[in-house]
Structure 1
Amino acid sequence: MLDITLLPGEYAVCRLGGGTALPAALSSGLGSADVVTVSWTADGISVICPADRLPDEAVVETIWRCLRVAGPVGVDGTGTLAALVDPLAAARVSVVTFSTFDTDYVLLPAVRLTEGTTALERAGHRVVG
């Protein structure tokens, strides 16, 4: 069983063109529950951030809610994401995942939040928030 916290507010998974400068708003004044992650590839820049910090020029498909595994889980933890993704896949809920040094995060489409958290709870996890 995992303890999972639903972070407040909505999140965006977005794409910026390669070479785009990251807006300062992505890293300044983050609240204690906020999380921002940035990945650079040859194809562009992917950003996951609170929806209210969304860069103007970003391409966004849907709004998400963010779940954080109570941690620290650590980089050597095994099976954590599978324990979350498997019940969500069985419930046909799309996910985006990412990990930090300390823990794992799962994003669910905001419109499927209830179905997703119900699937996680049925799998034995505790969702709070």
Structure 2
Amino acid sequence: MLDLDLLPGEYAVCRLPAGSALPATLSRGPDDKSVVSVTWAPDETSIICPAGLVPPDASAETNWRCLRVVGPLDFALVGVLASLVGPLAEARVSVVTFSTYDTDYVLVPTVRLADARDALTRAGHRITE
């Protein structure tokens, strides 16, 4: 069983060309309740951010809600994401995941949030807002 926080507001999953610099709109970091993740990969720069911070030149998929596993998590833990993604897959809820040093995050489509909550609660997880 995991404790999850539902972060406020909607999120976007964005794509910029490979090698793109961090957009100025994200250089100050998120506020106290939101999270931003930037991944520079050989083929793209991916950004997960609050929907209101989407870089102007980015391709973006919006309307995601973000669940944060209450952490910090011990690196020896096994199956944390599997315990979340498995029930969501069974409920046919799409996900985007990312991890930080302390914890894991799962994004679900806003239109499927109720289904995601039901699936995760049935699996024994607790969700707070």
Question: TM-score, with normalisation over the residues of structure 2?
Answer: 0.94
Residue identity in the other structure for 2:7: L
Q: Contact 2:10–2:62 (CA<8 Å) still a contact in 1? A: no
Measure, in 2, the Cα distance between the counterparts of 1:24 and 1:75. Answer: 33
**Correspondence 1:12-31 to 2 at 5 A:** 12-28=12-28, 30-31=30-31
Q: Distance in 1 between matches of 2:10 and 2:114?
A: 14
Count the aligned residue pairs: 129
Worse-matched range after superposition: 73-82 or 112-121: 73-82
> Mean Cα displacement is larger for which, 73-82 or 101-110?
73-82
TM-superposition CA deviations, 1:12-50 (whole Å, max 9, x none): 001001232221221315211111111111211011011
Letter in 1 for 2:116: G
- Report the 3-state secondary structure (helix = DSSP H, G, I; strand = E; otherwise coil) of the residue aligned with 1:56: coil
Give the corresponding residue for 1:10: 10
The CA distance in 2 between the partners of 1:16 and 1:8, in whole Å, is: 25
Residues 66-123 of structure 1: per-residue CA shift (max 9 Å, x gap): 0000111133321110110000000000001111000000000111111001100011
Identity, % of aligned pairs?
Answer: 61
In the alignment, structure 2 segments of 5+ residues that lack a partner are none
Aligned-partner SS, 1:89: helix
Contact kept? 1:37, 1:48, Cα under 8 Å: yes
**Structure 2 CA distance for aligned equivalents of residues 44 and 106 of structure 1:** 21
Contact 1:3 1:69 in 2 (8 A): yes
What residue number does 2:88 align with? 88
| Structure 1 gap ranges (5+) | none
Aligned-partner residue type, residue 32 of structure 1: D
TM-score computed with the length of structure 1 as normaliser: 0.94
Residue type matched to 1:35 in 2? V
Match of 1:128 in 2: 128
Q: Is this contact kept in 1: 2:7–2:68, CA < 8 A?
A: yes
SS of 1:84's partner is helix
- 1:53 Cα deviation (Å)? 0.8
In the TM superposition, structure 1's runs of 4+ consecutive aligned residues that sit over 4 Å from their partners are none
